[in-house]
Amino acid sequence: MVRRYDILVIGGGAAGFTAAITAKILYRDSKVLMVTKTDKSPIVCALPYAIAGNRPLDDYLMPYSYASSLGVEILVDEVVDIDTEERVARTRGGEEIRFDNLVIATGSRPEAYMAEGVDLKGVYVLGKEYREVAELREAVNRDGVRVVLVGSGLTTAELADALSGIPGLTDHVKRYVTIVSRRKYILSRYFDEEFAELAERELEAKGVTIYSNTRVKRIHGHGRVEEVELDNGEVVKADVVVIVPTWVPNTELASRAGLEIRGRGIVVNDYMRTSKPYIYAAGDCVEKRDFLTSDQRDIKLATLACEEARRAISAIKGVTLSAGRMGRIPVTVTRVGGVVMGAAGYIESHALNEGISYIVGKARAVNRHPAWLPGGCEIQVKLLFLEDGRLIGGQAAGRCNEVAEIVNSIALAIQGSLRVEDLIIGLQHGSHPLLTYSPVMHPLINAAVEAYLKMKN
């Protein structure tokens, strides 16, 4: 029997899952099928906590039962071939699925720097699949285990934080953690130095050793890893080595189906349509463009994947955005130790790489007024403006959760093309003594004022 669906979604990650549930929510009467290679898919953003956590791995899975409850059909199988003219997908399990509309959300796969010795037991390339995560989890959940993390990004920082113990969440065993980073600072792809340093200091305070500007030369051991030799000559004892990979788009299926690929991602328009009608793509498998330059840019974020999924599903019925709302602003928020930090849009190093001139404004404020009121937290803010005054980036950090939502406000301000004057005399916000900064001393406004004075002098 040939199955037929209004909307077929290939992939069960953030993009695929969001596409499937959004399809059933927006088009209640449509038949929706999500094909996923596994029915147990760990939430990727939560991997550090799933790996180091003291609760079962099954507590960290994508909630497929929620999709089922909405009426999404789920097929655990793998699509191996798409006929874009006949609109038929064929699976490894032999199913033939006809579709009116297709969303490809095949995600990304790890690509790791492979030093000599990576085939020793105890060396892992971090993966997203249940089996891989379960294995790594078992390896690091032993008291006294020495773990060497090779990487520089968010996952590396968060995994180091989690492995060195988050109270009540990942502190059931004692581990010794070392990071080997080829960058000057960990997180330097996401944050400017003064923010990246905050994360490094938090990790060091938790006992994590960080080797910066350093590469792994060789991994030593007899069958099982014993030591990691660095290119600076140092040797680090290790029971477990985790190589945190970069992620590259999974485009083989799309490519075989004749869809256009550019760089490493599937080509899509602003509404996620591919080069073929009725065929959309979303998430890590598609090419990303910078909101300012529209150049290709390597950004992989669950928030963008979900947004793209919603765009794809909405586009089926022609939902469109208001003028000027196209650009997708990359927004990163994280917690490392006690510090919450986030970035939206451009950071200095990225602007420099792109040859974009910018002006910086900085400010700090405690989010209580008077500032001594209980529960206050000093928040530091840095904003980047173009020379014509347009806001293109912002970073914030502080020892409280509110930082995440402050960064989300910055993202909306960037999306709204606010200029420095708009922030100074037009930033809409509310205040309360027990909850926020004083409206007299708002750090976003004060950072804008600092930048403005630089522009005019």
Tell me which of 76, 248, 267, 302 binds its own copies, using CB under 8 A: 302
* Residue 29 interacting with its own copies (CB under 8 A): no
Is 129:137 a contact under the CB 8 Å cutoff?
Answer: no
366-368-374 Cα angle (round to 5):
105
Looking only at residues 435 through 454 of this chain, which bind its own copies when binding is defined by CB under 8 A?
A: 435-436, 438-440, 442, 445, 449, 452-453
Show the tokens assigned to 168. 């009540």
Q: CA 148 to CA 180: how far, in whole Å?
A: 7
How far, rounded to the nearest angstrom, does the alpha carbon of residue 275 sit from its chain's CA centroid? Answer: 26
Tell me which of 9, 21, 105, 259 binds its own copies, using CB under 8 A: 21
Q: Is the dihedral of CA 67, 298, 251, 111 positive or negative?
A: negative
The span of 76-84, 101-109, 349-357, 420-428 binding its own copies (CB under 8 A) equals 420-428
* Residue 56 interacting with its own copies (CB under 8 A): no
200-203-208 Cα angle (round to 5):
115
Tell me which of 230, 258, 409, 454 binds its own copies, using CB under 8 A: 409
* Residue 112 interacting with its own copies (CB under 8 A): no
Kindly state the smallest distance separating residue 225's Cβ from its own copies, in Å.
Answer: 29
Q: CA 345 to CA 329: how far, in whole Å?
A: 5
Tell me which of 150, 397, 414, 451 binds its own copies, using CB under 8 A: 414
* Residue 209 interacting with its own copies (CB under 8 A): no
Q: How many residues does the chain have?
A: 457
* Residue 36 interacting with its own copies (CB under 8 A): no
Looking only at residues 240 through 269 of this chain, which bind its own copies when binding is defined by CB under 8 A?
A: none
Tell me which of 314, 359, 366, 395 binds its own copies, using CB under 8 A: 314
Looking only at residues 115 through 134 of this chain, which bind its own copies when binding is defined by CB under 8 A?
A: none
The span of 82-90, 105-113, 199-207, 332-340 binding its own copies (CB under 8 A) equals 332-340
The span of 55-63, 177-185, 241-249, 260-268 binding its own copies (CB under 8 A) equals 55-63
* Residue 340 interacting with its own copies (CB under 8 A): yes
Tell me which of 217, 400, 454, 455 binds its own copies, using CB under 8 A: 400
How far, rounded to the nearest angstrom, does the alpha carbon of residue 52 sit from its chain's CA centroid? Answer: 19
* Residue 144 interacting with its own copies (CB under 8 A): no
**Core vs surface per residue 389-411: b (16+ CB within 10 A) or e:** bbbbbbbbbbbbeebbebbebbb
Task: Give the number of residues in contact with its own copies, rule: CB under 8 A.
Answer: 88
How far, rounded to the nearest angstrom, does the alpha carbon of residue 268 sit from its chain's CA centroid? Answer: 20
Tell me which of 210, 281, 406, 451 binds its own copies, using CB under 8 A: 406
Closest CB to its own copies among 224 and 429?
Answer: 429
* Residue 1 interacting with its own copies (CB under 8 A): no
Q: CA 14 to CA 303: how far, in whole Å?
A: 8
Tell me which of 238, 331, 359, 366 binds its own copies, using CB under 8 A: 331
The contact mask relative to its own copies for 343-362 (x = CB under 8 A, - = no) is -x------------------
Tell me which of 126, 219, 257, 411 binds its own copies, using CB under 8 A: 411
Q: Long-range contacts: 190-196, Cβ < 8 Å, 24+?
A: 190/153, 190/154, 190/332, 190/334, 190/343, 190/347, 191/332, 191/341, 191/343, 191/347, 191/395, 192/347, 192/348, 192/349, 192/382, 192/395, 194/382, 195/341, 195/343, 195/382, 195/395, 195/397
Backbone angles phi, psi at 305, to 5 degrees: -60, -45
